[in-house]
Amino acid sequence: MKELYNQLFQKHKTEDNTSLTYMDSLQRDIAIGSWEVNLQTDTVIWSAMTKTIHEVEQDYQPNVKEGVNFFLEGYNRDLISLLFARAVNDQQSYDREFQLKTAKNNIKWVRIVAYPVIEDNKTKKVIGVLQDITEKNNTLNELKLKEELIRTTFEHAPNGMALVSLSGEIITLNKTFCDYLGYTTEELIGCKINKLSHPGDIDIIPANIKNLIDGVSDKFECEKRYIKKDGSYINCILSISILRNENNQPIHFISHLIDITERKVAHKEVETLLTTTKSQNEKLLNFAHIVSHNLRSHSGNLEMLLDIMKTDLPECTENEFFPLIEEAVNNLSETISNLNEVSIINSKESKDLKAVNLLKTTHTALANFKASIIATDAKINISIDSNIYVLVIPAYLDSILFNLISNSIKYKRPDATPVINISAQQTTDFIKITVSDNGLGIDLDLHKNKIFGLYKTFHKHQEARGLGLYITKNQVEAMNGKINVSSKPNEGTTFTIHLKHEAH
């Protein structure tokens, strides 16, 4: 380096124009510049390449202070100051790498070699060279980073990974791999990987491995069981790829393991659950059929027999039992027909949904209550945009609105004029329909779980059947919607229904 410097620098000093250009071009080609600090005259000379590396104009006149300031503040600047002082005072040369910031604010890595020039035991000058090593350093750093990345990925991967020699020994493996099988790293390194295989699965590998080595495929995946140290086994997805050198010669395998034991167990559970649900659904359908057919025929027969008795034996209707029996039979028939309504809702499918104008449907529903609205002096406020369409089974929406409005009128407070507000809002996924009243209200603390239940009534009303809200909820849910209620005794009740709109 010293010789090189001398050559470069001596020529530089001759101020022979031809050589200077030659030397400059040589410097440029190897990205090395030269510099000199004359301590006696306190002047600094930079060669053209030195200036280029600093990204300053060629007519730039450097001085010591400015020269030092090019180095990154802190470690780099402190170190160069220290080394330069040592060169001056202790006549020590140095060869170090630094980071500097150029005049154009680019950060560069440079290597600096410096020698003191001594005359009469005194340092007269410090001379040296400056080499731009940014690219080399960047490449090195990138490589280091990549290595680090791969190493970290390998070590901390949530899946088991192992490097396996062509003859099947484990070269290295990560912690997850060890954890999967319950061994320590030391126990597994050097071990034949197929010894860990479940005996039943040992045949999967060889043929596929041959394909990998022959280059027929570069990766293969399979489901495979491995035996743990404690003798139990785990289900894994194994994926093997092959690593080749630059001559395309296989060097080793990379085995990638994912433990799917839990997933398998969960899958089985889901399957069992599905089977149970299916069979229960079938039972329910059967039950619905029993209700629909068998019970109906019995209650039908009873009705028919009573009918005939009435005409054939009119005197028996005077018996005090007769009206009671007749009432019991009628109640039975009604209950069965209610159950039928419910079972039919549950067997309907959501594919029958149609887009229906909500405002129109609401008006139609209200038309049923003309008489009771006049009789109770009820005030109905509707706030529904005429452009709102809901995706419903039309008969269900009719029935839902009918039930809710009917409840609001039926369960009005005796001391207040009924006010019923019906409104709708469109959200991204749903149409939110709100039906609220100022009626009797329901104590939800007491009845929260029962409000949508079958045969639950909360008020003494002659027409209360405990069926309306049960059917309403079933209908809403059959159309993939949801229904909520909020209520306070003696203040009123608000039902909120979410139904899909046309776009969904």
Q: For binding to other proteins (CB under 8 A), which residues are involved? A: 289, 292-294, 296-297, 299-301, 303-305, 307-308, 311-312, 340
What's the min distance (Å) between Cβ of 302 and other proteins? 8
- Residue 93 phi, psi dihedral angles, 5° rounding: -80, 165
296: helix, coil or strand? helix
Classify the C-alpha dihedral 266-272-275-277 as positive or negative. negative
Closer CB to other proteins, 219 or 289, in the complex: 289
What residues contact residue 468 under an 8 Å CB cut-off, 6+ apart? Answer: 403, 406, 407
Nearer to other proteins, 266 or 290 (CB): 290
Which one, 333 or 421, has the nearer CB to other proteins? 333
Which C-beta is closer to other proteins: that of 296 or that of 498? 296
Cα separation, 221 vs 236, whole angstroms: 10
**Smaller CB distance to other proteins: residue 195 or 293?**
293
- Tell me the closest approach of the beta carbon of residue 177 to other proteins, in angstroms: 59
Q: Which of 236, 265, 252, 243 is nearest to 159 (CA)?
A: 236
Please give the Cα distance from 412 to 377 (Å, whole number): 11
CB of 462 to other proteins, least distance (A): 26
The residues, ordered by sequence, that sit 6+ positions from 369 with a Cβ below 8 Å of its Cβ are 378, 405, 406, 409
Measured CA to CA, the distance from residue 80 to residue 71 in angstroms comes to: 8
Residue number with CB closer to other proteins (82 or 308): 308
**Residue 341 beta carbon to other proteins: minimum distance, rounded to whole angstroms:** 10
Q: How far is the CB of 224 from other proteins (least distance, A)?
A: 50
Specify whether the CB–CB gap between 326 and 306 falls below 8 A. yes
> Nearest Cα to 138, choosing from 105, 165, 110, 114?
110
Distance CA 215, CA 231 (A): 35
Minimum CB distance to other proteins, residue 285 (Å): 11
Nearer to other proteins, 308 or 375 (CB): 308
The DSSP letter of residue 72 is: P
**Nearest approach, Cβ of 290 to other proteins (angstroms)?**
11
Instruction: State the minimum distance, in angstroms, from the CB of residue 342 to other proteins.
Output: 13
Q: Which is nearer to other proteins, 300 or 453 (CB)?
A: 300
Residues 6+ apart with CB under 8 A from 501: 388, 389, 390, 391, 426, 430, 431
CA-to-CA distance for 159 and 4, rounded, in angstroms?
55
Of 215 and 300, nearer to other proteins (C-beta) is: 300
Q: Is the dihedral of CA 99, 102, 107, 108 positive or negative?
A: negative
Distance CA 337, CA 474 (A): 16
Nearer to other proteins (CB atom), residue 123 or residue 340? 340
Query: Least distance to other proteins from the beta carbon of 352, Å?
Result: 12
Q: What is the smallest separation between the CB atom of 478 and other proteins, expressed in angstroms?
A: 15
Q: How far apart are CA 83 and CA 71, in angstroms?
A: 13
Minimum distance between the CB of residue 344 and other proteins, rounded to whole angstroms? 8
DSSP label at 294?
I
Length of the chain: 504
The smaller minimum CB distance to other proteins, of residues 238 and 467, is found at 467
- Please name which of 224, 235, 227 lies closest in space to residue 261, comparing C-alpha atoms: 235
What is the rounded CA–CA span in Å between residue 97 and residue 113?
A: 9
Per the listing, tokens 């089974």 go with: 393
